[in-house]
Amino acid sequence: MNITFIGSGYVGLVSGIMMSHIGYNVICLDTDQEKISQLQKGIIPIYEPGLANYLDANRLKFINNYNEELRDAAVVFITVGTPSLPSGSANLQYIFEAIDNLTKWISKDCLIVIKSTVPPTTCNKIINYLAEKNFSHLVASNPEFLREGSAVHDFLHPDRIIIGTNNKAAEETLKLIYAPLVKKNIPIISTDLVTAELIKYASNAFLATKIAFTNELANLSEKIGANIQDLCIGIGSDTRIGHKFLTAGPGFGGSCFPKDILALSSLAKNYNLDCKVVDAVIASNEQRPVDMVDKIMSIMNNNKIITMLGLTFKAGTDDVRCSPAIKIIELLLEQGFIIKAFDPVGMENAAQHIKHENLFYADNAIDACDNSDAIVIATEWSQFKELNWDMIYTKVRSQVIIDLRNLLADDVIQAIGFRYYSIGKPYYD
């Protein structure tokens, strides 16, 4: 079967490459010429561990314009971006541009599948839009649940596959496409278009709620002398709650959770509904970097030089979009601090997002710690655990670590002599 992906961002590229791996002839189209020419040379323009191993030139082609090569596609997946508008709602401009462009080329039997995260009712709007232009393509919703940094694993071992359709033939086509994965006992959940679209928003909003809840309990734990890690083991051991997404930190970031919860809230408001839980999660997460900066400032006394270890929104990615680390740096710079920053893979992206006369990007973690008054760990890179902390102890000006990810082992770090502050745990001097 021939499959085309429109949009080669994280979702489109990972899904396209992996679909070719499970046996399909895949064309990935992106209008970004630079990105496509890199891919044509076998260079993957995103940092996604393991993805390069699945590049198979025999079944995979990269193109940068809409042309007759789309005619043979049985299915076109749309995987373009849906960024937030100032109102919080999703911008669907790129989706409709893709529809306009691809309908010039695809056959009338080609199934159009929306994989981008779109507000519920978008597929119905697309169906009406196509009808106005006298096209009668079937349209399906097939939301994606890949996580950056573990997208290859997530593609091969999804918890479930969601298929939203209003037509049996469209449902059967999508089931056929995913048949190689379903052999591994992965459930396919078939539903209507609107429900499939809402499942995506609801999943991200629920996970974001778990994180915001945990972060608020971390604040409380610090005040009353409880331990957030033990607390989360305690509540997560209830199988109705589960252990995942109960790790306290500096707030959730990335290109999905912050955008999708805003879009869900905005969608509800369009129907005169208040999504009070979702709105509280948005407010709680916006407050989180401010709380982190208050915590850092309360520890700093009058010292001014801070080392930031970690810039990406989580470990395993080079993505700094909505990264709490970047927000914290911005707030600290406003307060007149000098920041020496290091990240194993996110430095290039960070330097494009944030430049300042008092922000210095170091070549490595050790240099970033040189002569510093406090080390803040903002991303949970495992490399940071392996650093030579005995040596760092001798290089810093004040032996202070503020670990916003609870990454380091308290006892080891305290035994070296550091004053070690973590999240949601009492401080022992």
Axis-axis angle for helices 228-236, 193-224 (nearest 10): 140
Strand ordering across the sheet containing 25-29: 60-63, 25-29, 2-6, 75-78, 111-114, 139-141, 161-164, 188-191
User: What does DSSP assign to residue 336?
Assistant: T
Other beta carbons within 10 angstroms of residue 355's beta carbon come to: 9
Among 252, 342, 418, 421, binds ligand UGA (CB under 6 A): 252
The answer to whether residues 389 and 414 touch, using CB atoms and an 8 Å cutoff, is: no
Among 35, 115, 288, 314, binds ligand UGA (CB under 6 A): 314
Among 119, 254, 310, 424, binds ligand UGA (CB under 6 A): 254
Q: Which of the residues 256, 275, 322, 369 is marked catalytic?
A: 256
Residues with Cβ within 8 Å of residue 286, at least 6 apart in sequence: none
**Residue number, 259 or 340, with CB nearest to ligand UGA:** 259
Check binding of 5 to ligand UGA (CB under 6 A).
no
Whole-angstrom distance, CA of residue 71 vs CA of residue 371: 62
Among 7, 158, 253, 310, binds ligand UGA (CB under 6 A): 253
Check binding of 146 to ligand UGA (CB under 6 A).
yes
Q: Give me the phi and psi of 191, to 5 degrees please.
A: -150, -170
> What is the three-class DSSP state of 142?
coil
Shortest Å distance, C-beta 254 to ligand UGA: 4
Q: Which amino acid is at 352?
A: Q
Check binding of 266 to ligand UGA (CB under 6 A).
no
Closest CA to 61 of 93, 36, 80, 82: 36
Q: Which stretch binds ligand UGA (CB under 6 A): 49-57, 66-74, 252-260, 363-371?
A: 252-260
28 tagged catalytic? no
User: What does DSSP assign to residue 239?
Assistant: T
**Residue number, 63 or 322, with CB nearest to ligand UGA:** 322
Other beta carbons within 10 angstroms of residue 127's beta carbon come to: 18
Check binding of 206 to ligand UGA (CB under 6 A).
no
Check binding of 145 to ligand UGA (CB under 6 A).
yes
Check binding of 361 to ligand UGA (CB under 6 A).
no
Shortest Å distance, C-beta 394 to ligand UGA: 31
The H-assigned helical ranges of 41-142 are 93-102, 122-132
The answer to whether residues 402 and 425 touch, using CB atoms and an 8 Å cutoff, is: no
Structure tokens belonging to residue 334: 């406003």
Check binding of 249 to ligand UGA (CB under 6 A).
yes
Whole-angstrom distance, CA of residue 18 vs CA of residue 309: 33
Check binding of 48 to ligand UGA (CB under 6 A).
no
Q: Binding string, 317-346, against ligand UGA, x = CB under 6 A? A: ------------------------------
Check binding of 148 to ligand UGA (CB under 6 A).
yes
Among 313, 381, 384, 389, binds ligand UGA (CB under 6 A): 313
Shortest Å distance, C-beta 419 to ligand UGA: 24
- Judged by CB under 6 A, the number of residues near ligand UGA is 20
In the complex, which residues of this chain contact ligand UGA (CB under 6 A)? 117, 144-148, 204, 207, 211, 245-247, 249, 252-254, 256-257, 313-314
Residues catalogued as catalytic: 256
